């Protein structure tokens, strides 16, 4: 009996672009961005796939370039976020946070009606599928301490993003 391995299905569209924090890979469907990954250890999730772009991804490439060069503070891109209801509420709070703004995990918990859910908020922030565009790097501990970051190389990546936006942190 022969074992057949089903093909790995990837995103409909994928692009990669260089940035000061490493290569960035953005995926999309026909209408919206679905993920953004920052290079970790020299690798990206879909690096084995050839690039296939569309208008949404070309706008993302342009706007990310403008953000990293200091010419853009807000993103105007369609994003499709898949997650639990609680995760989506956390990501909505993040999306409303302006350039240079900061929230603590506790403040997000209060805003989502779960004031004592710091660990759950941290999990939702860490599960953000579209970092930078949905700015999870703008979340700090209540004492403005960096408590972690799941994108790119972790805390050094978050530190760069915070410094880029002029956000004081510890």
Provide the edge-to-edge strand list for the sheet that holds 24-28: 13-17, 24-28, 33-38
Integer Cα distance of 99 and 80 in angstroms: 21
Q: Hey, what long-range contacts does 158-162 have (CB within 8 A, 24 or more apart)?
A: 160/20, 160/21, 161/21, 161/132, 161/137, 162/137, 162/138
Active site residue 136: yes
Among the listed residues 130, 136, 162, 167, the single catalytic one is 136
The bridge status of strand 139-140 relative to strand 103-104 is: parallel
CA–CA dist 64, 163 (Å, integer): 16
Catalytic positions are 136
């Amino acid at each position: 009996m022969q074992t057949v391995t089903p093909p790995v299905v990837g995103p409909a569209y994928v692009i990669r672009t260089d940035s000061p924090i490493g290569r960035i890979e953005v995926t999309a469907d026909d209408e919206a961005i679905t993920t953004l990954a920052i290079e970790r250890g020299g690798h990206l999730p879909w690096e084995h796939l050839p690039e296939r772009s569309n208008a949404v991804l070309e706008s993302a490439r342009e706007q990310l370039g403008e953000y990293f060069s200091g010419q853009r503070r807000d993103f105007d891109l369609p994003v499709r976020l898949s997650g639990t209801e609680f995760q989506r509420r956390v990501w909505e709070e993040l999306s409303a946070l302006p350039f240079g703004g900061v929230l603590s995990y506790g403040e997000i918990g209060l805003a989502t009606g779960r004031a004592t859910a710091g660990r759950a908020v941290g999990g939702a922030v860490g599960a953000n599928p579209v970092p930078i565009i949905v700015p999870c790097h703008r979340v700090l501990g209540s004492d403005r301490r960096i408590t972690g970051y799941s994108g790119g190389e972790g805390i050094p990546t978050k530190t760069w993003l915070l410094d880029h936006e002029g956000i004081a942190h510890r």
